[in-house]
Amino acid sequence: MERKLASVVVIDDLQPIPGADLIEVATVKGWKLVVKKQEFRIGDHAVYCEIDSFLPEKEDFEFLRKSSFRTMAGIPGFRLKTMRLRGQISQGLLMPVTVLNGYAYTLGEDVSARLGIVKYEPPMPASLAGVAKGNFPSFIPKTDEERIQNLSAEYEAYKNETFYVTEKLDGSSATFYFRDGEFGVCSRNLDLLETTDNTFWKIAHRLHLPDRLAALDKNMGLQGELIGEGIQGNPYGIKGQTVRFFNAFDIDAYTYLPLPAFREIIRLMGLEHVPILDTAFTLPDTVDELLLAAEGNSALSPAGKYVEREGVVIRSADKRISFKVISNKFLLNEK
């Protein structure tokens, strides 16, 4: 599902911030945002822009210049990040629907394109960018689980499920596939040509993935996180680079393998999966409690060092339900 960076929402709640006279905290779906007092009322429609949104240089967004101005690929704009204001976490931006200039919206509509909002992509080293052979292939889903804050309507039903929990590693998404005799390598958004200097392809050969996937004698994809030197500052202190896998995908059946089958195929291929933190997890009472549970020391932290994990990914064993919970502590320290 393509991420809705800016959408029309209902304001679910407004609460005071202790010691703050001019601002209050709004709740939208599962997100908390700091807003001006008296700007909104509960039940109002508004435009919500998620964190990681990159807003264009327009008069409507000029108030963000001091806190959020960035350039992306040489283009100026405003990047939305998690912030703390008067002790309150604020994630994203809430604007009156008047920013749509009279457009006849529908509730829940994605208005990103109408406002010129795109996803912020940090600069990528040349060794990771690669040369595109094409767009990400249609026969495998991209690796981009929904955030739990966008699933507040489903949360109560999910409490009846049992999940397994893996650590969300701070790296670069990688997909490797073998389909009808062809081996391929993908970054998050692109199918990559094989070049001698591309890190994704180097890792594929170092781990013997073309031969290992071909030996399965079926059309299969593996998805994981590329981590190590030159990637997100290498928080895990890894020498060189490697991949920790989190999904195996049956291309012909167009389905993810359930957890037991995934673990077995990774074992048989002599590969490593992401840290599995719990295999019988049930959700706590609230999203806020779950967000606190996402915080903690990474299972890959170097000895004697604390590395705040990026968060966790929560999946049902059959992969029917899947979402991510990002640590607010991690987001507050994000550059």
**pTM (two decimals):** 0.90
Confidence at residue 164, expressed as pLDDT on a 0 to 100 scale? 97
The CATH number of 126-333 is: 3.30.470.30
Domain boundaries, the chain: 6-119, 126-333
Confidence at residue 40, expressed as pLDDT on a 0 to 100 scale? 97
Give me the mean pLDDT over the 38-46 stretch.
96
Express each pLDDT in 102-123 by its tens digit.
999 999 999 999 999 999 988 8
Express each pLDDT in 142-192 by its tens digit.
987 899 999 999 999 999 999 999 999 999 999 999 999 999 999 988 999
Mean pLDDT for all residues in the chain: 94
Q: Which residues contact 309 (CB under 8 A, 6 or more apart)?
A: 167, 168, 170, 294, 295, 296, 297, 298, 299, 327, 330
> pLDDT over 90 for what percent of the chain?
88
